[in-house]
A and B are shown apart, each in its own frame.
Chain A
Amino acid sequence: MKRPADIIYCFLLFLLQLVISDYVHLGPWITLCLLPLLILQIPRSRSPHVVMLIAFGLGLGLDILSDGVPGLNAFAAVLAAAPRKFFYRLLVNADRQDKTEVPLLRETGLLKYLKYLGVLTAIYLAAYTLVDCISVRPLGYIAAKFLISWVASTALCLLLALPIQNRS
């Protein structure tokens, strides 16, 4: 995230997340989240400390600006950001030969990218849905909401990852 174009892309992603949170009413069964994709955009060279702090800031910013429950997105974002490096090594790049600062579809292939994005989105949404609904909603509802949101969010993130595939 060094070039101005990358920063603008991330800013637009965050703005889109705000618009989705504020204006796109899809009902109580679905939560669309783009923060996992934003977490993927933090360069790999950044230390876990920086990654977690950025994720916390993004989550808290979203909580405040979209009038959500304060801390809810921040909690989920840090939980997804912390094991980012571990899952990258496990699912995408076992030989540890980093080519680009950010994982790109054309570099990793669709399946690996989808696995990586899917796992981070799953961690994020599991934390978000559990904290938001625990003790007020039955487990079946929580599981259904998580599954629907996970499929929709992963698909949307994948779609939004396409415009940046040509960068070097």
Chain B
Amino acid sequence: MKNRYGLLSSLTAIALFIVLETVAILMVVNGSVVQRYKVLGAVRSIESWFWARTSKLTYHLNYKTENERLAAENLQLRQQLAGYAAAQAQLDSVVRIIEPEYTYIGATVIRNSVDRQHNYLILDRGEKEGVEPGMGVVTARGVVGIVSAVSRHYAYVISLLNTEQSVSAKLAGSGAFGPMTWPGKDPGRAVLAEIPVHIEAAPGDTVLSSGFSTIYPPDIPLGRVIESKISQGSSQELSVALFEDFRSLHNVYIVRNNRGEEIQELYEKAR
């Protein structure tokens, strides 16, 4: 009787082990960030409140760096504005109302991870401010990630520092483009792949966003080429030093593509 009970206990333990491990692996494979975010709404609200405060503290401690960065960005924007003012003067006889292709929502990073294989950020803007899943997140120094889920006041962003993310990028000079991914080691390095072998890519060349997706605007500077190597004999793989320092991210812009839906509809029709 005792032996039979022992055997039964061992069998149920093995069955439980298999069930738990299967459930865990299924969660890893199908892990939906969106579901996780929604199911834990209450927990998230408390955590977000806490993160917002710790983020403020970190921000105050890094005021100098952040101010220098904002000053540089301001200067760049002023220069652009001066250029537009000159162009406007030449176009004063033409009156046209043009809806901009992209509009931006300013946001603050309240949570940021850089040490994992699947990094993420949480921003202090959500549904209330018009943020939707699928929107891109950028800074003046690069692409940050894609909004994956939103609550009323917060947005969960899958970082570019995620081994499953990629952004369409191009070389500033030649315009040759390919997917840029993060290999998972250094938060300051990415890899631009599928560049044809006949394209000359020298160290120091600038890499920009291509604008071929509906998520990110074109020509955002992303980084600088460090080295290139031939991959599988048919294309080049460029190692890129990112301009954006993901460890000190604070102010970002969420991008709304005002023509995104139209492009998506066209794409659906063509399919």
Contacts and interface: CB of A to CB of B under 8 A. Distances in A.
Contact of B115 (A25, A65, A82): A25
A165 to B, nearest CB: 30
Nearest to A51: B13
B258 interface: no
B210 to A, nearest CB: 23
Interface string B38-59: 0010010001000000000000
A152 to B, nearest CB: 13
Contacts of A141: 185
A82 B31 contact: no
Interface residues of B, number: 32
Interface in A75-112: 75, 78-79, 82
Interface residues of A, number: 34
B17 interface: yes
A94 to B, nearest CB: 20
B16 A28 contact: no
Interface string B124-147: 000000000000000000000000
Interface stretch (A6-14, A116-124, A128-136): A128-136
A157 interface: no
A67 to B, nearest CB: 6
B17 A52 contact: yes
Given A69-B118, A75-B28, A136-B163, A47 B9 contact: yes
The A interface is mostly helix, strand or loop, or mixed, namely helix
Interface string A137-166: 100010000000000000000000000000
A36 interface: no
A47 B10 CA distance: 10
B43 A65 contact: yes
A25 B114 contact: yes
23 contacts: A25-B114, A28-B115, A28-B184, A28-B185, A28-B186, A47-B9, A49-B16, A52-B13, A64-B40, A65-B43, A67-B111, A68-B118, A69-B31, A71-B26, A74-B24, A74-B27, A75-B24, A75-B25, A75-B28, A78-B21, A136-B184, A137-B184, A141-B185
Given A53-B20, A69-B31, A71-B28, 13 more contacts: A25-B113, A25-B114, A28-B117, A47-B9, A59-B24, A60-B27, A70-B31, A71-B24, A71-B31, A74-B23, A74-B27, A78-B20, A79-B21
Interface of B: 9, 12-13, 16-17, 20-21, 23-28, 31, 36, 40, 43, 47, 111, 113-118, 120, 163-164, 184-186, 247
Closest 6 CB pairs of A and B: A71-B27, A75-B24, A70-B31, A71-B24, A71-B28, A136-B163
Interface of A: 22, 25-29, 47-49, 52-53, 56, 59-60, 63-65, 67-72, 74-75, 78-79, 82, 131-133, 136-137, 141
